[in-house]
Chain A
Amino acid sequence: MSVRLFLRDTSTVFSREFVPVLREPLGLLFTMGQPLLFLFLFGPLLAGTQSFEGQESPWQWFVPGILIMMCLSGPMMAGYSLLVELIGGSMERLLVTPLNRTAMLVGRTMKEFVILLAQAALIIALAVPLGFRPHLPGVLTGLAILVVFGIGLGSLSFVLAIASSPSGNLFYGVTQLVLFPLILLSGVLLPMDFGPAWLQAAAALNPVTHIVEAERALFSGRFADTSVLYGMLWACVVAATGLAMGTRAMRRGI
């Protein structure tokens, strides 16, 4: 019964967030822009380097990386949109309804995810002619991990938004301060293998690194790789932490 209510509330929040996208599809085009820039302006540079020991196409390595980058920025945007609603009165109005608190977080993140999946499909489709060979079950599993990871990130971003209101300064500061190190230290753009030992040690502590490695293994169909297990674990840890903190923040009152 309560699961049904949870799903109903999640779908309510999801459709609230998604309807404006359908009403103004042009905005979608802009969100597609950034990953495509990376694919076409940065990808060829990577493909031109000789550092991939000829094992597989650099696209095999780079396409999962772009998806992770989008997966990091999507939830951040979700937090930003929440912050705007917190500063205005619309979040308060929703909080006075019996709407499930967790559903509020999940529904919003799901919207970012539908967009992420659309972007992923587009990028994969465009990368295939360049030499990317997706392993379908692997890609699907990889996207599932990203959904779990993204729900966690989204919730954390909501917690940050709640802590930052009403001024919002904390939110802008922390996202700037955290997002770039997370990306740079995860080996999304360049392999960490060539960095000094301290950088590699720092990268090993970054959950994003493990997710990236899991995605790369999965996109090439290497299900048995231990990185897949670690990636899944990290995604679950982030999701559990995010949802627990997010629901708690909502309960404590805003």
Chain B
Amino acid sequence: MIHARGLTRRFKVGKGGVDAVRGLDIDVEAGQLVAFLGPNGAGKSTSLRMLTSLLPPTSGTATVAGRDVVSDPAGVRARIGYVGQKNSAGENFRVRDELVTQARCYGLRRADARRRADEVLALLDLEALATRKPGTLSGGQRRRLDIALGLIHRPGLLFLDEPSTGLDPQSRANIWEHILRLREEHGTTLFLTTHYLEEADTMAERVVIIDHGRIIADGTAEQLKGELAGDRVTVTVHDEPEAARAAEVAERIAGSDADTVERRTVRLRVPRAGRALPEYLRYLEALGVKVATAETARPTLDDVFLALTGRSLRESDESRRTAPHDA
């Protein structure tokens, strides 16, 4: 469905330039659900805007739904759906009117457009809101309307830019229900960006992590976590000198790395915590170090990002929150 090679986008900023996306290579097969994960400003939206023909790439090529984004943007547009970050419906227009307009934008005749508008209204539980204006809808309802607009022409490939950002947990779950149903019932290929780690983790079958305009990891969430992060073991002892000794002995455990000591707590990463913890506790007992608590945790995608970049996805997200534009 998507084949991109060396996709690059440079923005002029004052006299210099910013490379928002630097050489993106990606292949997405039909029917996949891909989550594009990265902090704000990593190049997610810019990549999406290039793949959807909104923004011409500075260099590189991309074939989307069988058409070239540069030489045949109209061909790409006819075959894909796109749900942007902001609200898709105009404030002056009624919900159903916008859906009819959208259908006509794809060349449906007036009567067919009306029929199709009613279909997607039903599909996304929006029937009761047909004559309302977007300003009177709740956040979750607006997002459902955005998705309805993106689905009006039954695209085989749907791009969603942060589909659940800013919604309460219940609305998020509801949006996901609709997204997953789409995939089940129509086999729609879904390519979405998110900065919610849990979402990418639980919903997507493939996670692509992007940072500073480059793809830094690509695989299933389980693969990434297993290969790049590993489990976490946390042990607390009774005083700081003992913690230092506990940290020293941790190096004996096979495959462990990146142990940190914080006052009376020692944290280490291991390939498999279930095997490492008993071993570690035996070492500590032999040393005469008394352990107060011991915990293990499965890694999160944040741990993957941390392992890859040395930064936490949440932190880099916070520090960029003030930037006016999400590139």
Contact = CB atoms under 8 A, between A and B. Distances in A.
Given A8-B107, A84-B91, A253-B55, A93 B84 contact: yes
Contacts, number: 79
Mostly, the A contact residues are helix
A48 interface: no
Contact of A16 (B81, B86, B97, B106): B97
A89 B54 contact: no
Contacts of A5: 107
A148 to B, nearest CB: 26
B74 A98 contact: yes
Given A89-B87, A99-B105, A253 B77 contact: no
Mostly, the B contact residues are loop
B94 interface: yes
A203 B55 CA distance: 41
B167 to A, nearest CB: 15
B54 A253 contact: yes
A98 B105 contact: yes
Interface residues of B, number: 35
Contact of B54 (A9, A15, A92, A98): A92
A252 B56 contact: yes
Interface string A7-33: 011001001100110010000000000
Interface string B170-203: 0000000000000000000000000000000000
A16 B87 contact: no
A51 interface: no
A90 B78 CA distance: 17
Contact of A89 (B49, B88, B102): B88
A254 B101 contact: no
| A23, A90, A252 interface centre (most CB from chain B within 10 Å) | A90
B93 A19 contact: yes
Interface in B93-130: 93-94, 97-98, 101-102, 104-107
A5 B78 CA distance: 14
B93 A20 contact: yes
B105 A89 contact: no
Nearest to B109: A8
A88 interface: yes
Interface of B: 49, 52-56, 74, 77-78, 80-82, 84-94, 97-98, 101-102, 104-107, 146, 149-150, 325
Given A93-B89, A97-B77, 5 more contacts: A19-B93, A96-B53, A96-B54, A98-B77, A253-B56
15 contacts: A8-B107, A12-B105, A16-B93, A20-B93, A81-B92, A88-B87, A88-B91, A89-B84, A96-B52, A96-B84, A98-B77, A98-B105, A98-B107, A99-B105, A253-B54
